[in-house]
Chains A and B, each alone.
Chain A
Amino acid sequence: MITLLILIPIIGSLMILPLQEDYLNNKNKIKTIAITTSIINFIVSIFLWLEFDSNTNQYQFVTEFDYLPIGHLIFGVDGISLYFVLLTTFITPVAILSNYNNINVNIKYFLVSLLILESLQLALFLILDLLLFYVFFESVLPLFFIKILVYGSGESRDRSANLLFLYTLFGSLFMALAIVQLYSYTYTTDFQLLSLCDISLEGQKLLWLAFFLAFAIKTPLWPFTGWLYRAHADSPLAGSILLAATILKFATYGYIRILINFLPDATNYFGPLVQTIAIVTLIYASLSTIIQQDTKTLIAYSSIAHMSIVILGLFSNNIQGIEGAILLALAHGFVSPALFICVGGIIYDRTGTRVIKYIRGLVTYMPIFTILFFIFTLCNTGIPLSLNFLGEQLSLIGIWEVNPIISALGATGIVLSACYSIFLYNRISYGKYSPHMNKVVLDLSRREFILLITLLIPTILLGIFPNLILDSIHLSVSSLLFN
């Protein structure tokens, strides 16, 4: 099952490669193949979910390829990684569909790289070996770098692609050193064996810092936020969607899987540090969100703020906090792409601008869009009945048990997020119709409507029945707690 999951996108991209994109017919064929492959993969992952046994916290569907001498290739899924896998397979068709019409040159390589990215991301969430985890963590970078360079829209995309690459490479090389050091302590990089190993607190501290640096850059936490909003602003829409939905989740997954799981003592020791950094990030990101002029940058900053609440939840060391963090991470994976589609796709395609000043009064011509945009804006601020609400609430409850002050400070994030989300919505939708835009803009096309509805359904559905998710992660999460 897992092998299938990873191989399907690769097979799809191999099918696309020999086709020439000279003719319109072939172009359509390429697109159809890409989207079909990703949907098939999503269906396969649904079967994975159905067959998942939530009464055990062991790794399931373990598939091992033992002919590799460098850290063996072993895949498996447990309650923590399951939903990240589902999120990846869910978001890839959305990403492919989002740039369905507006990329015309070199679409073949664009789609191939998207499909390969899907395989790499899945491999990252499924791998049960630390060294290969690192390999997949990094291997996303070059593809993403090229994607921003070639298909990006911004003027300064060189700079943002460079920053993306160098920031992440810098952090993750320290992770590489830490993996080497960990190996010298334990002589294994296998997840199952590592969780049985016991490392002294002194040894854990250094390792923890190195891993934390890598993940903090990827999250991103406060001193390292510089690359994210640039990358978002300049990457193509599909890139932004993937970046927000799954690539930022690498860090979330890394925190749970490596820091909390393998280095529990150091995690406990450094807890206050992480909470402080997360609070600083939250308030800093929220305040800088309010002053943004570019819509995509604004949403990028808001996702930094949400990720810092996820971090607060993760490091609360109780079941509510960690589950809330996972829920919020998922919710962010649905809502943030939807907002990117709204501003970076729908509005940008119609008006050719992303600057808030120039966009006004969309409600006159685009009522359906405005309604959907309103719902997503509310979800982003964490309104009850949405998955975001549950996630934020549980995370804050979790951190309250550790430190009420931190929790109270964290709660300001909700107010601030209401400020900037409503601000954005208000400016864009209402007022006199902007003279800078075309005379008439059309409302949502069928493709865009389907895109937004697909993202809306899970947000609301899981917001009402969170037990669909929570049931299968209870056991895995409770085994993470440190006492």
Chain B
Amino acid sequence: MIFISLLILIVAIATPSIRINLSPNLFIRLSAIIFIYAGGISFNTFYIHSIESGVGIYSGLYQVTAISQLIDMLIYLTGSLILTAWPIFNKNSTLEINYETVNKTNEDRIMNPCTEYSLIVMFSTLGASLLISSADLISLYLSIELQSFGVYILSTLYRDSESATSAGLKYFLLGGLSSCLILLGIALIYSYSAITNFESLYTLISVLYSDFNNLSDISTGIVYGLLLILIGLLFKIAAAPLHNWAPDVYDNSPTIVTIWLTIMPKISILFLILEIINDKIIEIKYLFLISALLSIILGTIVGLSQIKIKRLLAYSTISHIGFMLLALVINTIQSTEAFIFYIIQYTLTNLNTFLILLALGYTINRKILLKNNNLINSDITLISQLKGQFFNNPLLSISLSICLFSMAGVPPLLGFFSKYFVLYSAIFSGYYLLSIIAILGSVISASYYLKIIKILYTEDTKESNIDKVDNVNEESVISNLHSFLIASLTLLILLFLFKPTLILNSVQLLSLSIFNDC
């Protein structure tokens, strides 16, 4: 079934080159629909019984399991949701492109990327979905590169913007470095054991570690190789000691790209780690513990001093990553459940936050948007730009504060339950110190979320009057779809308490299926 979805993707990628005059708006909607369709297909596969234990395809290079299917679905759906944030620009830009295709002015080049965006997004998503189901070191590397290159290009999509270009370059160089590490690790493992397949690697490790007194060279080679691979992966998800690139890149690239950067690569790589991680090798466990600890501490403390909103959210992402790594390390059924739940929660909340930021950006900088069609200028960069928004856009700011409260882990919201499950599994397995640090971390991080919320609700008397006049005159700049999306995600976060069975049950089934395999 996954072939079909891949096929559709490839066909879709091919189309832009054939019909370049098609409006970018259409492309984006088209690719969103394709994503939804692919998600539907992968959900359908979930019902095929033989797939439960995993089916190898492409001569064992990839393995399709229940979990990979469901995560595929998650990725596709998120992808389609992110794409919907676009249409508003294209409403304006389509006109110009249609009329001025012949002589491309300087302005047009800014909008041009819209056509390429969906294409690159699809490449990167393809990489992500392959990554999850890869069962071989080589296919792992290839799909990671496919995914990463898409993302590198995305962040440099706006060539005219200096900051975006520098962000993209930084991301590319450092990402390339981490890819090198991964490749080195793979080479090490191959040179010591001549194995690239995951299954045989597991078997080899369990044979080697069955006798602790007799650890040979092979095992050290494999351990170092795995460590290198995992360090590379940690680099890609911006876990703490290797997080330095993340705030710069997130801050400098336009918000629409930032959504993609903060969500998609992380989902796929974290699930990859979930499949790779192995209890028996103690070094890996320590690596993850240290990384989780540092992520939580750094993400919370450094975030305190940020004044740019996307930098701040980048640090909050780092501390979330810390929580997820903590859940990964514990490696029990409960913790896996907590991990999957956390990742779903993280995706939803983060997606919603960025969508709201985009919408706020559209409304606040409406004039710039209409005048120049300039995407980057309409982004919100400083937290102080949000000042007093409660009085202009009460519903948007209420939903933003719901999201932020949820990230801070205030109870009836989705974010609390995910943190609760992680702590629950941590305490059950006896990680008391870590869980206390995690709790302190989340209190400290609450203070920077509060900073944003506080600014949202403090009135700025000078500007608010002017804006109110504007509100009456101009139509809403947020598209229907966009606002509908924000509303439904916010309600999902808010009312999770009343109908949690859907997410919880599927999460539980998934974690059970992982442990049945082992």
Question: Which residues of A approach B to under 8 Å, CB–CB?
Answer: 67-70, 105-106, 109, 134-139, 141-142, 145-146, 149-150, 158, 161-162, 165-166, 169-170, 173-174, 176-177, 180-181, 183-184
In the docked arrangement, what's the CA distance between A161 and B451, Å? Answer: 10
Nearest-CB residue, chain B, relative to A170: B443
In the docked arrangement, what's the CA distance between A149 and B408, Å? Answer: 18
Nearest-CB residue, chain A, relative to B447: A166
Nearest-CB residue, chain B, relative to A184: B428
In the docked arrangement, what's the CA distance between A174 and B443, Å? Answer: 10
Chain A to chain B contacts (Cβ below 8 Å), 11 pairs? A134-B411, A135-B416, A136-B412, A138-B410, A138-B416, A139-B410, A158-B454, A161-B450, A166-B450, A169-B443, A181-B427
- Name B393-445 residues within 8 Å CB distance of A: 394, 401, 405, 408-412, 416-417, 420, 423-424, 427-428, 435-436, 439, 442-443
| Interface residues of A, dominant DSSP | helix
The count of residues in chain B whose C-beta lies closer than 8 Å to any C-beta of chain A is 35
Q: B439 near A176 (CB under 8 angstroms)?
A: yes
In the docked arrangement, what's the CA distance between A105 and B468, Å? Answer: 14
Besides A166-B450, A183-B424, 12 more A-B contacts (Cβ < 8 Å) are A69-B500, A70-B497, A70-B504, A135-B416, A138-B412, A146-B453, A150-B457, A162-B447, A170-B443, A173-B442, A173-B443, A176-B439
Q: A149 near B458 (CB under 8 angstroms)?
A: yes
In the docked arrangement, what's the CA distance between A170 and B442, Å? Answer: 9
Q: B427 near A184 (CB under 8 angstroms)?
A: yes
Nearest-CB residue, chain B, relative to A65: B498
Q: B453 near A135 (CB under 8 angstroms)?
A: no
User: Which A residues lie within 8 Å of B446 (CB)?
Assistant: 165-166, 169
Residue in B410, B420, B424, B435 whose beta carbon sits within 8 Å of that of A142 in the complex: B410
Say if the beta carbon of B203 comes within 8 Å of chain A. Answer: no
Q: A177 near B417 (CB under 8 angstroms)?
A: no
Say if the beta carbon of B190 comes within 8 Å of chain A. Answer: no
In the docked arrangement, what's the CA distance between A170 and B391, Å? Answer: 30
User: Which A residues lie within 8 Å of B408 (CB)?
Assistant: 169
Q: A142 near B405 (CB under 8 angstroms)?
A: yes
User: Can you list the 10 inter-chain pairs with the closest CB atoms, starting with the nearest?
Assistant: A138-B411, A135-B411, A149-B457, A173-B439, A139-B412, A170-B443, A180-B424, A142-B405, A150-B457, A180-B427
Say if the beta carbon of B315 comes within 8 Å of chain A. Answer: no
In the docked arrangement, what's the CA distance between A150 and B457, Å? Answer: 6
User: Which B residues lie within 8 Å of A184 (CB)?
Assistant: 427-428
User: Which A residues lie within 8 Å of B500 (CB)?
Assistant: 68-70
Q: B458 near A177 (CB under 8 angstroms)?
A: no
Nearest-CB residue, chain B, relative to A151: B457
Q: A135-B411, A142-B410 are in contact. Are A177 and B454 (CB under 8 A)?
A: no
Q: A165-B450, A166-B447, A166-B450 are in contact. Are A180 and B423 (CB under 8 A)?
A: yes
Say if the beta carbon of B501 comes within 8 Å of chain A. Answer: yes
User: Which A residues lie within 8 Å of B450 (CB)?
Assistant: 145, 161-162, 165-166
Q: B453 near A145 (CB under 8 angstroms)?
A: yes
In the docked arrangement, what's the CA distance between A165 and B444, Å? Answer: 11
User: Which B residues lie within 8 Å of A70 (CB)?
Assistant: 417, 497, 500, 504
In the docked arrangement, what's the CA distance between A136 and B411, Å? Answer: 7
Say if the beta carbon of B346 comes within 8 Å of chain A. Answer: no
Q: B497 near A177 (CB under 8 angstroms)?
A: no
Say if the beta carbon of B390 comes within 8 Å of chain A. Answer: yes
Residues 327-341 of chain B, each 1 if its beta carbon lies under 8 Å from chain A, else 0: 000000000000000
In the docked arrangement, what's the CA distance between A174 and B436, Å? Answer: 8
Q: A177 near B439 (CB under 8 angstroms)?
A: yes
Residue in A109, A141, A174 whose beta carbon sits within 8 Å of that of B394 in the complex: A109
Nearest-CB residue, chain A, relative to B402: A142
Residue in B420, B453, B501 whose beta carbon sits within 8 Å of that of A176 in the complex: B420
- Name B441-473 residues within 8 Å CB distance of A: 442-443, 446-447, 450, 453-454, 457-459
Question: Which residues of B approach A to under 8 Å, CB–CB?
Answer: 390-391, 394, 401, 405, 408-412, 416-417, 420, 423-424, 427-428, 435-436, 439, 442-443, 446-447, 450, 453-454, 457-459, 497-498, 500-501, 504
| Interface residues of B, dominant DSSP | helix
In the docked arrangement, what's the CA distance between A401 and B447, Å? Answer: 44
User: Which B residues lie within 8 Å of A176 (CB)?
Assistant: 420, 423, 439
User: Which B residues lie within 8 Å of A180 (CB)?
Assistant: 420, 423-424, 427-428
Q: B420 near A146 (CB under 8 angstroms)?
A: no
Q: B454 near A161 (CB under 8 angstroms)?
A: yes
User: Which A residues lie within 8 Å of B424 (CB)?
Assistant: 180, 183
Q: A149 near B436 (CB under 8 angstroms)?
A: no
User: Which B residues lie within 8 Å of A135 (CB)?
Assistant: 411-412, 416, 497
Nearest-CB residue, chain A, relative to B498: A68
Q: A150 near B390 (CB under 8 angstroms)?
A: yes
Q: A139 near B411 (CB under 8 angstroms)?
A: yes
In the docked arrangement, what's the CA distance between A141 and B413, Å? Answer: 12
Q: Taking the nearest CB of chain B, how far is it from the CB of A107, in angstroms?
A: 13
User: Which B residues lie within 8 Å of A141 (CB)?
Assistant: 410
User: Which B residues lie within 8 Å of A105 (CB)?
Assistant: 391
In the docked arrangement, what's the CA distance between A176 and B442, Å? Answer: 12
Q: Taking the nearest CB of chain B, how far is it from the CB of A73, in angstroms?
A: 9
User: Which A residues lie within 8 Å of B458 (CB)?
Assistant: 149, 158
Q: A166 near B443 (CB under 8 angstroms)?
A: yes
Nearest-CB residue, chain B, relative to A141: B410
In the docked arrangement, what's the CA distance between A296 and B443, Å? Answer: 29
In the docked arrangement, what's the CA distance between A161 and B457, Å? Answer: 12
User: Which A residues lie within 8 Å of B401 (CB)?
Assistant: 142, 146
Select the residue from A137, A146, A174 with max chain B CB neighbours within 10 A. A146
In the docked arrangement, what's the CA distance between A169 and B416, Å? Answer: 12
Q: B423 near A177 (CB under 8 angstroms)?
A: yes
Q: Taking the nearest CB of chain A, how far is it from the CB of B17, in angstroms?
A: 50
User: Which B residues lie within 8 Å of A170 (CB)?
Assistant: 443
In the docked arrangement, what's the CA distance between A136 and B428, Å? Answer: 24
User: Which A residues lie within 8 Å of B391 (CB)?
Assistant: 105-106
In the docked arrangement, what's the CA distance between A135 and B419, Å? Answer: 13
Q: Taking the nearest CB of chain A, how far is it from the CB of B512, in angstroms?
A: 15
Nearest-CB residue, chain B, relative to A138: B411
In the docked arrangement, what's the CA distance between A13 and B40, Å? Answer: 38
In the docked arrangement, what's the CA distance between A170 and B447, Å? Answer: 11
In the docked arrangement, what's the CA distance between A145 and B394, Å? Answer: 16
User: Which B residues lie within 8 Å of A138 (CB)?
Assistant: 410-412, 416
User: Which A residues lie within 8 Å of B501 (CB)?
Assistant: 67, 69
In the docked arrangement, what's the CA distance between A69 and B424, Å? Answer: 16
Q: Taking the nearest CB of chain A, how far is it from the CB of B88, in angstroms?
A: 26
Q: Taking the nearest CB of chain A, how far is it from the CB of B74, in angstroms?
A: 21
Q: A150-B457, A166-B450 are in contact. Are A69 and B504 (CB under 8 A)?
A: yes
Q: Taking the nearest CB of chain A, how far is it from the CB of B108, in angstroms?
A: 42
User: Which B residues lie within 8 Å of A177 (CB)?
Assistant: 423, 427, 435-436, 439
User: Which B residues lie within 8 Å of A183 (CB)?
Assistant: 424
In the docked arrangement, what's the CA distance between A173 and B438, Å? Answer: 10
Nearest-CB residue, chain A, relative to B496: A70
Q: A149 near B423 (CB under 8 angstroms)?
A: no
Q: Taking the nearest CB of chain B, how far is it from the CB of A268, in angstroms?
A: 25
Q: Taking the nearest CB of chain B, how far is it from the CB of A407, in angstroms?
A: 37
User: Which A residues lie within 8 Å of B410 (CB)?
Assistant: 138-139, 141-142, 169
In the docked arrangement, what's the CA distance between A138 and B390, Å? Answer: 23
In the docked arrangement, what's the CA distance between A184 and B436, Å? Answer: 16
In the docked arrangement, what's the CA distance between A366 and B454, Å? Answer: 39
User: Which B residues lie within 8 Å of A149 (CB)?
Assistant: 453-454, 457-458
In the docked arrangement, what's the CA distance between A142 and B423, Å? Answer: 22
Nearest-CB residue, chain B, relative to A70: B500
Q: B457 near A146 (CB under 8 angstroms)?
A: yes
In the docked arrangement, what's the CA distance between A106 and B398, Å? Answer: 13
Q: Taking the nearest CB of chain A, how far is it from the CB of B287, in angstroms?
A: 26
Select the residue from A149, A170, A174, A183 with max chain B CB neighbours within 10 A. A149
Select the residue from B401, B417, B428, B453 with max chain A CB neighbours within 10 A. B453
Q: Taking the nearest CB of chain A, how far is it from the CB of B214, in angstroms?
A: 38
In the docked arrangement, what's the CA distance between A180 and B411, Å? Answer: 14
Nearest-CB residue, chain B, relative to A162: B450
User: Which B residues lie within 8 Å of A142 (CB)?
Assistant: 401, 405, 410
User: Which B residues lie within 8 Å of A109 (CB)?
Assistant: 394
User: Which A residues lie within 8 Å of B436 (CB)?
Assistant: 177
